Amino acid sequence: MKGGKTRSGKAVSLDAVTVAFNVADRRVYTAVERADLNVADGEFVAIVGPTGCGKSTLLNVAAGLLRPAAGAVRIFDQPLTRLNHQAGYLFQADALFPWKTALENVAIGLETAGVDSVEARASAKTWLRRVGLENFANRYPHMLSGGQRKRVGLAQVLIRDPKILLMDEPFGPLDAQTRQIMGNQLLELWTADRKAVMFVTHDLEEAIALADRVVIMSAGPNSKIIGDWRVPLGRPRDISEVRLEKEFHQLHREIWNVLKSEVLKGYEQSTKVGAAS
């Protein structure tokens, strides 16, 4: 572990954060309203909510890519004014550089930090091995499968050793089996060096299986955080086996009771004209 972490234990702290966008006809669309969320150092928090509830918006705020209209964002007790350089962001959409090979894609994260390219490449090789892709180092992104691309993305982010990991439905486009494998791989990498994680997903099972805490957001617009559960499952976990445990089912039922009505509301919202996603 690095020594730089502040001891207060709050990696991310969102205090009454409101995010609004200007939309057509001079109207304002409030995506997120007065959200309070604390993520402790080393804690894995999953954020679950219906489609279009502003989960990604919250991540972008924590990343510093989006400025909230109101409220405070603190990263390790420092107000966030620019990009959050302590965070690594794994995007939902393909974000690899298509003109770089897998190896170059992973190495670039270090090269931007001024590490010389020989060293960066050596380190990138190690990371590719960790995500099981050492034989694909010279492939370009389009030659890799969706799951392989996600793993390159994970290595690209982790090689910088960020203290906070932001993940936006990273396994969304993958098939169920690949998702489980990726989930286990993520947990394995995370256990080695516990970072604070904000993991956005619409899949409640995935959220419970992976996280220490599950946070539920209401349907948008004006979505709020409406629930916060601690996951009473031990670690290390195997995410395919943990789904069979009694506590898992109990928690799932409990959270689903809250989430269900929001999912329906979210669906209704999405059928209306002019709904933002």
Partner 1 sequence: MNRVTLLALQLLVGVVLIGTWQVLTTVPIGGVKLLPPFFFSTPYDVGARIVKWLVEGTIWKHLYITLLESVLAFVIGSVAGVMIGFWFARQQLVAAVFDPYIKMMNALPRVVLAPIFMLWLGLGIWSKVALGFTLVFFVVFFNVYQGVKEVSPTILANARMLGMSERQLLRHVYWPSALSWMFSSLHTSVGFAVVGAVVGEYLGSAAGLGYLIQQAEGVFDVAGVFAGMFVLAVFVILIDLLVSAVEKRLLVWRPEPGDARG
Binding site for partner 1 (CB under 8 A): 63, 65, 83, 85, 87-89, 91, 93-101, 108-109, 112-113, 140-146, 156-157, 160, 173
CA distance 146 to 127: 18
Please report how close the Cβ of residue 89 comes to partner 1 at its closest, in angstroms.
4
Question: Nearest Cα to 226, choosing from 9, 37, 25, 23?
Answer: 37
Smallest distance, partner 1 to C-beta of residue 271, A: 26
**Those residues with Cβ within 8 angstroms of residue 257's Cβ, 6 or more apart along the chain or in another chain:** none
Q: Residue 259 Cβ, how far from partner 1 at the closest point, in Å?
A: 27
C-alpha–C-alpha distance, residues 46 and 215, integer Å: 6
Residue number with CB closer to partner 1 (6 or 145): 145
Q: Which is nearer to partner 1, 149 or 213 (CB)?
A: 149
Of the pair 56, 218, the CB lying nearest partner 1 is at 56
| Closest separation in Å from C-beta 137 to partner 1 | 14
Min. distance of Cβ 63 from partner 1 in angstroms?
6
78 vs 145 by CB, closer to partner 1: 145
CB-CB neighbours of 16 under 10 Å: 12
Which residue lies nearer to partner 1 by CB, 119 or 228? 119
Cβ 167 to partner 1 shortest distance, Å: 12
In the complex, minimum distance from the CB of residue 179 to partner 1, in angstroms, rounded to a whole number? 14
Which residue lies nearer to partner 1 by CB, 55 or 237? Answer: 55
Cα–Cα distance for residue pair 109/101, rounded to 1 Å: 13
Can you list the pairs that 80-87 forms with residues at least 24 positions away whose Cβ atoms lie under 8 Å? 84/164, 86/162, 86/163, 86/164, 87/62, 87/63, 87/162, 87/163, 87/164, 87/165, 87/166
**Helix, strand, coil in percent for the chain, rounding step 5:** 40, 25, 35
**CB contact set of 125 (below 8 Å; sequence gap of 6+):** 103, 134, 137
Nearer residue to partner 1 within complex by CB, 161 or 245 = 161
Helices of type H across the chain: 55-63, 102-111, 117-130, 146-158, 176-192, 204-210, 246-271
